[in-house]
């Protein structure tokens, strides 16, 4: 895996496809259709999203946060966008940062 700065325009379609409950495959692994609220979004502050535009609006708020850094989790070998991690509540004066929105 690799982490790259999230670019909503570039990444949103792939991220929506990875989190909308549709069947998916990645290498030799396959996931049948699933409940996205139960599997992905249950403990998140928003989602699931019916379409990529809804997800884009949510991701744009993460990217715009003044005290965070939103990264796209990417499969290093295929370049496939798989998820998001957010370094948030960055407070260098207290040597503190939180991981969230994973």
Task: Please tell me the predicted confidence (pLDDT) of residue 78.
Answer: 87
Question: Tens digit of pLDDT for each residue in 2-52?
Answer: 999 999 999 999 999 999 999 988 888 899 999 999 999 999 999 999 999
Helices and strands (H, E) in the chain, number of each type: 3, 6
How confident is the model at residue 27, as a pLDDT? Answer: 81
Two tokens, residue 102: 């994973």
The number of distinct structural domains making up the chain is 1
What's this model's pTM, rounded to 2 decimal places? 0.89
Host domain of residue 89 = 2-100
pLDDT tens-digit series, residues 63-88: 999 988 999 999 988 889 999 999 99
CATH of the domain at 48: 3.40.630.30
Question: Which pLDDT value is given to residue 10?
Answer: 97
């Amino acid at each position: 895996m690799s982490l790259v700065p999230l670019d909503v325009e570039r990444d949103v379609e792939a991220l929506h496809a990875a989190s909308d409950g549709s069947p998916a495959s990645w290498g030799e692994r396959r996931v049948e259709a699933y409940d996205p609220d139960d599997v992905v979004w249950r403990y998140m502050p928003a989602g699931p999203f019916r379409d990529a535009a809804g997800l884009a609006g949510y991701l744009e708020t993460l990217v715009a946060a003044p005290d965070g850094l939103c990264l796209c989790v990417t499969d290093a070998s295929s370049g496939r966008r798989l998820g998001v991690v957010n370094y948030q509540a960055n407070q260098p004066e207290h040597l503190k940062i939180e991981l969230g929105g994973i």
